[in-house]
């Protein structure tokens, strides 16, 4: 009997898109199991590639808009997806909200838009992501899904809120800009100018992490250094996010300080909940439901998922962990395929297989990523065959 194998990886960042990774894994399987029935589901978890994955599965229309980038004075051309109401029913997104917008905050405020020499989460802003939300509201979208992975920001979502008409005032009543350096200065949140269309739309956050807003696992301490923050700036940003969280509770009546996912995108998850009434969902599970992966796992013989680097963040909502969890729920064995695996990480009982054949430099590994995934997946299938025969 032919095996039915589900292939559902995320991107191998910097080397392979999710589509390319899935294709390479399929090629490796066919070298060993040419008769296997393969079903490819390129995945994303709210970060880069989320709009592409959902648009490919639903036929959504890709639209583009010039918006503010994450750096002061920067302008970028950002893509978002428009899904008409009639298509939403096919995708399982229609619930009376009308048209749906799919927004990837990384398109406007992402890490990849900032050169390494310019990384500074004290200055970067989510304003451009807010401008994409305004564009979606103007297009008549009653449901807005915002993927919040891959950000360059730790502004608590104040930049997005600024774009939507909120103002942030210091102790003297002066307006401060929506960026990380202002978080500790805010004493008042002025809601008088917010766009009234916000209350008419339904917002859903597609998050790639379950981090809280502040604390040891929060937005500043975990992700701040990756975005260029010094140890001193990390502490300042964490205090600023705590200040903002208290103001959200006191002014808006929304407590986000301990909310899982609130720390995503430097606190943008918290902002979308507090300022837009959003609910937070696993980005990977959302993509799985929309693309049909969730239903196709049932009855499969094996699920292969993966990403470029398996580390401590994977288990906190990244694609491989979410796909493996869905496989476990369906009683289907899953294996995580990765280009590198942190020595001190374990996958909660899910096997993790490193496709890199031996010690190589990061540059060589990324340059040879496709061939490593093909040969590594073939090697994995031979090992599985040997175990089965044994």
> pLDDT-derived band of residue 301, with 50, 70 and 90 as boundaries?
very high
Average pLDDT over residues 244-252: 97
pLDDT at residue number 287? 85
Q: Within 10 Å of residue 368's Cβ, how many Cβ atoms?
A: 16
Closest to 130 measured CA to CA, from 103, 93, 102: 103
- pLDDT for residue 386 is more than 90: no
Q: Measured between alpha carbons, how far is 138 from 106 in angstroms, rounded to an integer? A: 21
- pLDDT for residue 79 is more than 60: yes
> pLDDT-derived band of residue 71, with 50, 70 and 90 as boundaries?
very high
Closest to 148 measured CA to CA, from 15, 279, 310, 324: 279
Closest to 138 measured CA to CA, from 196, 90, 190, 88: 196
SS3 61: strand
Our count of domains for the chain comes to: 2
Main-chain dihedrals φ then ψ at residue 279, nearest 5 degrees: -110, 150
Ramachandran category for residue 354: left, alpha or beta (phi over 0 → left; psi -120 to 50 → alpha): beta
Please tell me whether residues 255 and 190 are part of one structural domain.
yes
Q: Measured between alpha carbons, how far is 128 from 47 in angstroms, rounded to an integer? A: 16
- pLDDT for residue 300 is more than 60: yes
Mean pLDDT of the chain: 90
In angstroms, how far is the first alpha carbon of the chain from the final one? 18
Please tell me whether residues 54 and 15 are part of one structural domain.
no
Closest to 144 measured CA to CA, from 86, 91, 103: 103
Q: Tell me whether residue 289 is in a domain.
A: no
- Neighbouring residues of 169: CB distance < 8 A, sequence distance ≥ 6: 175, 176, 186, 187, 188, 189, 190
Please tell me whether residues 242 and 115 are part of one structural domain.
yes
Q: Are 337 and 372 in contact (CB under 8 A)?
A: no
pLDDT at residue number 95? 60
- pLDDT for residue 88 is more than 90: no
- DSSP letter, residue 344: T
Q: Are 138 and 101 in contact (CB under 8 A)?
A: no
Higher pLDDT, 225 or 290: 225
Q: What is the pLDDT of residues 97-145, one digit of tens each?
A: 689 999 999 999 999 999 999 999 999 999 999 999 999 999 999 999 9
Q: Measured between alpha carbons, how far is 356 from 342 in angstroms, rounded to an integer? A: 13
Q: Tell me whether residue 362 is in a domain.
A: yes
Q: Tell me whether residue 113 is in a domain.
A: yes
Please tell me whether residues 255 and 159 are part of one structural domain.
yes
Please tell me whether residues 269 and 310 are part of one structural domain.
no
Q: Which of 284, 311, 341 is the last residue of a domain?
A: 284
pLDDT at residue number 340? 86
148: tokens are 């919040």
Q: Tell me whether residue 290 is in a domain.
A: no
Average pLDDT over residues 66-83: 96
User: Domain of 227: which CATH number?
Assistant: 3.90.1510.10
Token match 């289907």: residue? 332
Please tell me whether residues 280 and 327 are part of one structural domain.
no
pLDDT at residue number 387? 62
By percentage, how much of the chain surpasses pLDDT 70? 93
- pLDDT for residue 390 is more than 60: no
- pLDDT for residue 346 is more than 70: no
- Neighbouring residues of 126: CB distance < 8 A, sequence distance ≥ 6: 70, 105, 108, 109, 151, 153, 155, 157, 158, 159, 160, 178, 265, 266, 268, 271
SS3 114: coil
- DSSP letter, residue 152: -
Q: Are 129 and 172 in contact (CB under 8 A)?
A: no
Instruction: Give the least confident one: 89-93, 105-109, 238-242, 262-266.
Output: 89-93
pLDDT at residue number 231? 96
- pLDDT for residue 389 is more than 80: no
Q: Measured between alpha carbons, how far is 115 from 19 in angstroms, rounded to an integer? A: 26
- pLDDT for residue 250 is more than 60: yes
> Crossing angle of helices 369-389/18-32, nearest 10°?
40
Please tell me whether residues 24 and 157 are part of one structural domain.
no
Please tell me whether residues 109 and 182 are part of one structural domain.
yes
Q: Tell me whether residue 350 is in a domain.
A: yes
Q: What is the pLDDT of residues 19-66, one digit of tens each?
A: 899 999 999 999 999 999 999 999 888 888 888 888 877 888 999 999
User: Domain of 359: which CATH number?
Assistant: 3.40.50.10350
- DSSP letter, residue 315: G
> pLDDT-derived band of residue 361, with 50, 70 and 90 as boundaries?
confident
DSSP result, 164-192: TT-EEE-TTS-B--SSGGGGGG--EEE-T
122: tokens are 């004290």
Q: Tell me whether residue 116 is in a domain.
A: yes
Average pLDDT over residues 156-174: 98
Q: Measured between alpha carbons, how far is 235 from 374 in angstroms, rounded to an integer? A: 43
Which domain, by its residues, includes 355? 4-41+296-389
Q: Measured between alpha carbons, how far is 82 from 249 in angstroms, rounded to an integer? A: 33
Q: Within 10 Å of residue 77's Cβ, how many Cβ atoms?
A: 11
Please tell me whether residues 312 and 371 are part of one structural domain.
yes
Please tell me whether residues 71 and 212 are part of one structural domain.
yes
pLDDT at residue number 344? 56
Average pLDDT over residues 12-25: 91
- pLDDT for residue 89 is more than 80: no
pLDDT at residue number 54? 81
Closest to 351 measured CA to CA, from 330, 318, 324: 324
> pLDDT-derived band of residue 1, with 50, 70 and 90 as boundaries?
low
Question: Max Cα separation, the chain?
Answer: 75
- pLDDT for residue 91 is more than 80: no
SS3 128: helix
> pLDDT-derived band of residue 289, with 50, 70 and 90 as boundaries?
confident
């Amino acid at each position: 009997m032919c095996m039915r194998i589900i292939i559902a990886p995320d991107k191998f960042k910097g080397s392979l898109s999710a589509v390319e990774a899935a294709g390479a894994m399929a090629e490796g399987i066919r070298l060993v199991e040419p008769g296997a029935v393969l079903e490819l589901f390129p995945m994303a978890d709210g970060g880069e590639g989320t709009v592409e994955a959902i648009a490919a599965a639903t036929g959504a229309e890709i639209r583009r808009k010039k918006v503010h980038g994450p750096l002061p004075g920067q302008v970028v051309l950002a893509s978002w997806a428009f899904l008409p109401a009639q298509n939403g029913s096919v995708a399982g997104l229609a619930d009376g909200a009308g048209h749906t917008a799919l927004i990837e905050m990384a398109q406007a405020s992402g890490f990849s838009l900032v050169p390494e020499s310019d990384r500074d989460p004290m200055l970067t802003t989510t304003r451009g992501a807010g401008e994409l939300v305004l564009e979606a509201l103007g297009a008549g979208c009653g449901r807005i899904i915002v993927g919040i992975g891959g950000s360059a920001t730790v502004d608590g979502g104040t930049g997005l809120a600024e774009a939507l008409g909120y103002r942030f005032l210091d102790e003297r009543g002066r307006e401060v800009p929506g960026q990380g350096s202002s978080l500790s200065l805010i004493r008042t949140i002025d809601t008088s100018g917010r766009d009234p269309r916000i209350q008419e739309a339904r917002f859903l956050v597609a998050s790639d992490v379950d981090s809280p807003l502040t604390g040891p696992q929060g937005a500043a301490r975990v992700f701040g250094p990756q975005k260029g923050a010094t140890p001193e700036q990390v502490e300042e940003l964490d205090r600023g996010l705590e200040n903002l969280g208290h103001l959200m509770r006191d002014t808006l009546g929304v407590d986000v300080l301990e909310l899982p996912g609130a720390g995503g995108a430097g606190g943008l998850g918290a902002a979308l909940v507090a300022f837009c009434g959003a609910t937070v969902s696993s980005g990977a599970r959302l993509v799985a439901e929309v693309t049909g992966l969730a239903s196709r796992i049932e009855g499969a013989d094996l699920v292969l998922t993966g990403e470029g680097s398996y580390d401590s963040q994977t288990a906190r909502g990244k694609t491989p962990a979410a796909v493996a969890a869905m496989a476990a729920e369906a009683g289907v064995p899953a294996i995580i395929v990765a280009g590198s695996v942190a020595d001190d990480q374990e996958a909660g009982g899910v096997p993790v297989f490193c496709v890199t054949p031996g010690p190589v430099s990061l540059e060589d590994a990324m340059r040879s990523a496709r061939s490593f995934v093909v040969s590594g997946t073939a090697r994995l299938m031979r090992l599985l065959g040997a175990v089965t025969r044994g």
